Structure 1
Amino acid sequence: MKTLNISVFVGSLRRDSLNRKLATAVAHLAPPDFSFSQVGMDDLPLYNQDDDGHQAASVLRLRKQVKSSDGLLFVTPEYNRSIPGVLKNAIDHGSRPYGQSVWRGKPAGLLGISVGVVGTAVAQQHLRNILAYLDIPTLGQPEAFLHAHEAFFGTDGQFGPASLAFMQGWMGEYVTWVRKHQTGVAS
């Protein structure tokens, strides 16, 4: 059975990020033929078109990882009603130089968690607009605008009883989505 490699983009650089915790926990719900790898974004220079002809090693690493992935997972907080700059910067690097995007056709899922009750709804909608332009097929349902209440995570960092069933359901849909885009038919 082929291992499906998923590149994970966490839109927060903070060490104790709720979204990093979410990305780590959700990966544990995947079947054994899925492998999740968080993409480093903290060393990417700000995108500058002048650098397209001589991209930094960190940009080349990101582009190589995305090219070799079978799917994408974006796990993002919401900053000022949109996505964080670090995530947009990574997306821009992967889409350039013009006509050489590494994103096209990679199936994606979106998650986000926040202490606010609205979760990350607006950030995810902005991200969906960007991903649509880049021809990234994105899982539409179930949406996951997650509220980080006290029982969301257990003491072990995995999902608590109140959130486990929903997250298992989300992962099941995501796995089907990625497999569908690998074979053309849902498994």
Structure 2
Amino acid sequence: MKKLLLIPGSLRKHSFNKSLAMIAEEYLKTKPEVEVSVLDYSKLPVLNMDDSYPFPETVNEVREKISEADGLWFFCPEYNGSIPGGLKNMLDYASLSYERNNFASGSPLRGKFAAQSGAGGKMATAGAQAALTTLLKRCGCKVMTEDMVKIAVPMESFASGIYEPTPEVKEELIKEANAFLTFMGE
């Protein structure tokens, strides 16, 4: 049984990227060999090393969910050419070693398989995906760099705040889900 943790990069209630994660979750739930869940990290405090070790309970919960997962699939928008601050904050917490000042003790991210998709503006999250790939590799993740879904959301979706993924987008996500499971050694 493979445990996949889906991680929306946006904390917005009706996030375009959460809609992609929901499509992926729906598909992955049809696979009996996969256990899938969506990570909620909206309650994390801003990282302050003075307040870590021991971590606040909300941080421990997120780190435990990441630690238990075999694979992490990120659905990330692009903010100013990079990833959103909330996601970066969560990844900073998840990258910290299990023991203070003992980097050899590992972290919840080290050794995890990772994939990513993104829905955003006309650049289709290319900058965010490049930044996230660099960050995840730096944290010791095994990052799938092929078959990543990048979607340029229509401008009217930004105006209305609503994005309805097309059947073609859904097919792309299913293709990426299958590629990720293969990448993980299903």
Range class of TM-score, shorter chain = 0.7 to 0.9
Equivalent of 1:103 in 76, 95, 109: 109
Provide the aligned C-alpha RMSD in A: 2.0
Residue 143 of structure 2: aligned partner = 138
For 1:134, the aligned partner's letter is C
1:19 CA drift (Å): 0.5
Tell me the equivalent position of 2:134: 129
SS at structure 2 position matched to 1:15: coil
Q: Give the partner amino acid of 1:26.
A: A
Q: What is aligned with 1:89?
A: 89
Instruction: Name the SS of the counterpart of 2:143 in structure 1.
Output: coil
| Counterpart check, 1:8 vs 2:6 | yes
**Offset of 1:69 from its aligned partner?**
0.8
Q: Which amino acid aligns with 1:139?
A: M
Residue of 134, 147, 151 corresponding to 2:152: 147
| Partners of 2:109 and 2:140 within 8 A in 1 | yes
Asked if the contact 2:25/2:37 (under 8 Å) is kept, the reply is no
In structure 1, distance between residues paired with 2:25 and 2:167: 17
Paired residue for 2:159?
A: none
Distance in 2, matches of 1:17 and 1:48, equals: 27
Distance 1:12 1:176 in 2: 27
Call closer, same or farther: CA 1:21–1:69 in 2, change over 3 Å.
Answer: same
2:176 aligns to what? Answer: 170
Mapped partners of 1:126, 1:110: distance in 2: 11
AA aligned to 1:46 is: V
Q: Distance in 1 between matches of 2:6 and 2:44?
A: 16
Separation (CA, whole Å) in 1 of partners of 2:79 and 2:164 = 25
1:67 maps to: 67
Counterpart in the other structure of 2:22: 24
Q: 2:124 aligns with which of 119, 122, 125?
A: 119
**TM-score under structure 2 normalisation?**
0.85
Provide the rounded CA distance (Å) in 2 between the counterparts of 1:39 and 1:168: 20
Structure 2 unaligned regions, length at least 5: 156-162
SS at match of 2:117: strand
Superposition deviation, residue 103 in structure 1: 0.5
Tell me the distance in 1 between the aligned counterparts of 2:63 and 2:170: 33
Identity %: 29
Match of 2:54 in 1: 54
1:165 to partner: Cα distance: 2.9
User: Aligned-pair distance for 1:130?
Assistant: 0.5
Contact 1:83 1:127 (C-alpha < 8 Å) held by counterparts: yes
How many residue pairs match? The answer is 172
- CA contact 1:75–1:111 (8 Å) conserved in 2: yes
List runs of 5+ in structure 1 lacking aligned partners: 151-156, 181-186
Retained in 2: the 8 A contact 1:52–1:96? no
- Whether the 8 Å contact between 1:113 and 1:145 is mirrored in structure 2 is yes
Rounded to whole Å, the distance in 2 between the matches of 1:143 and 1:136 is 16
SS of the aligned residue for 2:83 comes to: coil
